[in-house]
Amino acid sequence: MRHPCKPSGLAFLPLIVALVTITGCQPPDPAAELKPITDAYVEAWNSGNLDGLDAIMDPQFERRVSPASGTGAIGIDALKEVIAAFRTQFPDFRVVLDEEIFAADRAIARWTFTGTNTGPGDFPPTGRAVTLSGTSIIHLSEGRMVTEWVQSDNLHLFQQLGFTLSPPEGETE
């Protein structure tokens, strides 16, 4: 005969069901899905190996920039051209992600780019080293980057390259 105070195996069933329900209902970690995509994107910028972009980019990918932040791109081929142009002007181009925040369908990154302007581009090479910080907001869908919104301070970049900003000449009477 069983002792009346001794619990049976069934007594723990509600506890087991509760634990399975609680742990099984945890929301997925967006970073686990999205960080490999953003890491591959950064690697493409840093290495210049652009072949991997096709796997992480939506075919209609759009890189949107503020007017003062550089060159945008619509489509993967246009993005590859932008990256190649940066890497031509700054052969030692390097970007690091200083901070990343992940949500269900987006990644927000604060980044810093460094490089030395020794290659041809929109202006003759200056030979000067630059450091530029900025922020990207990346929207993703079905494991691919759909849009990137970029904000940086290109005035600061151009000043490091030796460009100057002159005030407009005043009107004369």
Does residue 105 surpass a pLDDT of 70?
yes
Q: Give pLDDT, residue 20.
A: 58
Q: Give pLDDT, residue 104.
A: 87
Rounded to the nearest angstrom, the gap between the alpha carbon of residue 67 and the centroid of all alpha carbons in its chain is 19
Q: CA torsion, points 35, 109, 70, 128, in degrees to nearest 10? A: -100
Q: Give pLDDT, residue 23.
A: 56
Q: Give pLDDT, residue 66.
A: 78
* Cβ burial, residue 134 (10 Å; 0-12/13-18/19+): buried
Does residue 78 surpass a pLDDT of 60?
yes
- What distance in Å separates the CA atoms of residue 83 and residue 168, rounded to the nearest whole number? 34
Element counts in the chain: helices (H) and strands (E): 5, 6
Q: Note whether 149 and 137 are within 8 A (CB).
A: yes
Low-confidence winner among 7-11, 39-43, 76-80 (lowest mean pLDDT): 7-11
Mean pLDDT over 60-85 rounds to 87
Mean pLDDT taken over the chain: 87
38's CB contacts (< 8 A; 6+ apart) are 97, 100, 107, 109, 138
Q: Give pLDDT, residue 130.
A: 98
Does residue 12 surpass a pLDDT of 80?
no
pLDDT in tens, 29-70: 877 788 999 999 999 999 999 999 999 999 999 999 877 656
Q: Give pLDDT, residue 33.
A: 82
Mean pLDDT over 126-153 rounds to 95
Q: Give pLDDT, residue 69.
A: 56
Percent of the chain with pLDDT over 70: 80
